[in-house]
Amino acid sequence: MNHKSGTIQTDITGTNKPISLAQFDPIYPLGGDFFLLYLAGLKIEEIIGCLKSLKKEVAILKKEDAFLKECLAKYGNPKDSRNSSTPPSKDENRPKANQSLCKPSCKRVGRQKGRERKTFEMTVTPDKIVEF
């Protein structure tokens, strides 16, 4: 660095392109990559424009990330027997043991009307007798 003239001599690209401190100050905080882009031949305005577009993209991505985190916290990803090792008995929306999976119909349950009722009756001659 030449303090008297206020320029920095560079020989990274082999061109010994002098950079004034006024040109170097906006680029230096951006990091070495932007400095190398300048040395590669991009104008400072192009580099700053690139940086502004990257900042806009980062802001959009941060908003999207916050929205997705909020949705995940709100709706969550509940674990059940299909997507984890929890047993099916621990599923929240599973049918109860006394709840039938069959849809109700208009038919009545049991025998038809008018048919006489038959049940098993004791016989006089059983096939087998078991004593307790």
Highest-pLDDT range among 7-21, 30-44, 105-119: 105-119
pLDDT at 30 (0 to 100)? 58
Given a contact cutoff of 8 angstroms between Cβ atoms, the answer to whether 34 and 58 are in contact is: no
- pLDDT surpasses 90 at 48: no
**What is the share, in percent, of the chain residues with pLDDT greater than 90?**
10
Phi, psi of 42 (to 5 degrees): -75, 145
Q: Is the dihedral of CA 82, 86, 91, 96 positive or negative?
A: positive
| pTM more than 0.85 | no
